[in-house]
Structure 1
Amino acid sequence: MKLGFIGLGNIASAVATGVARDGHQIYVSQRGAAHAAKLDDQFDAVTIADNQTVLDNSDVVFLGTTVEAAPDVLKPLEFRPDQKVISFMVGISTKDIQSLIAPAKFEAIMIPYPSIAEGGSPLMAYPQSDTIDKLVGKTNTVVSLSTETALSDFLAAQAILSPIVKMLATGADWLAARTGDYHGAEQFLRLLVGGSLMAKPMTELNVLPALIAALNTPGGLNRQFREYMEAEGAFASTERGLDALSKRLSGAA
Structure 2
Amino acid sequence: MPTLDDLPPYRRAKLLWDFAHFGVDGINDMIWERAGKPCHLSGTAKPSSPRVAVLGGDGRYHLMSDGRMICAKGRAEQGWKHVQSCSWTEIAGVLVDGYRAGGTYGSVEQVWFVQPVAEGVPPSSVPPEQRCQYGTYGVFHFWPPPPAKTAVVRRLRTALVEALGEDCHLCGALPGAMVDHDYSTGMVRGLLCKLCNRTVEECPHVDACPKADYMSNPPAAYLALPYPQYLAWEPKESTRARKVELLGFDPLAEWRPAH
TM range (shorter): under 0.3
Larger radius of gyration: 2
More helix per residue: 1 or 2? Answer: 1
TM-score by length of 2: 0.22
More strand per residue: 1 or 2? Answer: 2
TM-score by length of 1: 0.22
